[in-house]
Amino acid sequence: MKKYRIGIVGATGAVGQEIIHLLEKREFPIAEARLLASARSAGREIQACGNLEIVRETTPESFKGLDIAIFSAGSQNSIQFAEIARRQGCVVIDNSSAFRMDADVPLIIPEINGDEVEKHQGIIANPNCSTAVALMGLHPLHKRFGLKRFIASTYQAVSGAGAAGVEELDQQTRTALGVETSEPKGDSIFPHPIAYNLIPHIDDFREDGYTKEELKMRNESRKILNLPSLEISCTCVRVPVYRAHSISINAEFESTVNVPDARDALEGSPGIELWDLPNAQRYPMPINYTEKEACGIGRIRVDHALKNGLALWVVGDQLWKGAALNALQIAEVLVERKCLRFM
């Protein structure tokens, strides 16, 4: 079996660490795992794919000889280095928002539009975490009924803000319980206390009152589903949950809907679990979907406010399906379809 040289940009971050874990878990054929990060992290030693690897500073020379580079170090790093990597014949899978809406860059969820990988010219974008989780639930229903519009409210875990977000929730919780009295270290990640609170604010606000995070759901969903006029309204909320995003969706479809047909469309669809027995108190929750590859779907019911509408609840690990896992699945499709070469 052929093996591949993979670079991980942002290897010491939350998503980078999950990529390393999943490379091992899914037994991706690795010839080299090249760990790249900032100068501050260079020199650290990390176990990766059976070897003790030394983290290197990301430079223009970092990508020589690589087959694939997975970027998880923010938009600025992607803008700075992705094109350099591409010119050296390395396929870039980018977790940032830098290239998602570029018309020449495929935006991929493999279970939904995996065929698009064959159109890449060296850069492939990973969708935003909440978009990925939401569309895992909506796509099978779209195929059955024809999606017309949807309204989403997201309940996003603090790990979506990185390791520092998790640390902030932990510290604030310990302080609130009287376990810890020390002052927080450094600036706060969130604009308000997150422990025992909800913050209806993720990313920067625009003049129309929506945040950039909310518009990602609209713009990225349109591109992934190839529905440029799809009507979407979204409210994003940060919640005091460590890991896994939850999304409440009210969707309207072109054709008549019913719950049995909706369940039939969802059952057996790749990458999802139907977990919908509300009378037995069985429905997806973040605690059940942490470090789980599938997204859970439940609370399926006919919507009382929308014509041909369904209400549903979707939960998924945003560090996995919303980032690391989805990126690795893209790499697996590239290998399976033998479409790494583009120059």
CA–CA distance, 9 with 13 (Å, rounded to integer): 9
> What integer pLDDT is reported at residue 185 of this predicted model?
67
Helix (H) / strand (E) element for 316: namely: strand 309-316
pLDDT, tens only, 130-153: 999 999 999 999 999 999 999 999
Q: How many residues does the chain have?
A: 343
Residue 182 pLDDT: 67
- Return the active site residues: 129, 245
Q: Residues 304-321: what's their mean pLDDT? A: 98
For residue 330, what pLDDT is reported? 98
Predicted confidence at residue 271, as pLDDT, reads: 97
Rg (CA), the chain: 20
Q: Is the pLDDT of residue 249 over 90?
A: yes
What does the angle CA 342 – CA 136 – CA 258 come to, to the nearest 5 degrees? Answer: 140
Residue range 333-338: average pLDDT? 96
- The class (CATH top level) of 4-126+323-336 is alpha beta
Q: What residue spans in the chain does CATH classification 3.30.360.10 cover? A: 130-317
Note the pLDDT of residue 232: 98
pLDDT of residue 184: 64
* Band (180; pLDDT cuts 50, 70, 90): confident
Which residues does 22 contact at the CB level (< 8 Å), separation at least 6?
28, 320, 324, 325, 328
d(CA 70, CA 93): 5
CB atoms within 10 A of CB 133: 31
Taking CA 41 as the corner, what is the angle to CA 39 and CA 42, rounded to the nearest 5 degrees? 65
Strand 45-48 versus strand 272-274 pairing type = unpaired
pTM above 0.85, yes or no: yes
- Sheet strands (E) in 182-271: 231-238, 245-253
Q: In this structure, which CATH number among 2.40.50.140, 3.20.20.70, 3.40.50.300, 3.30.360.10 belongs to the domain 130-317?
A: 3.30.360.10
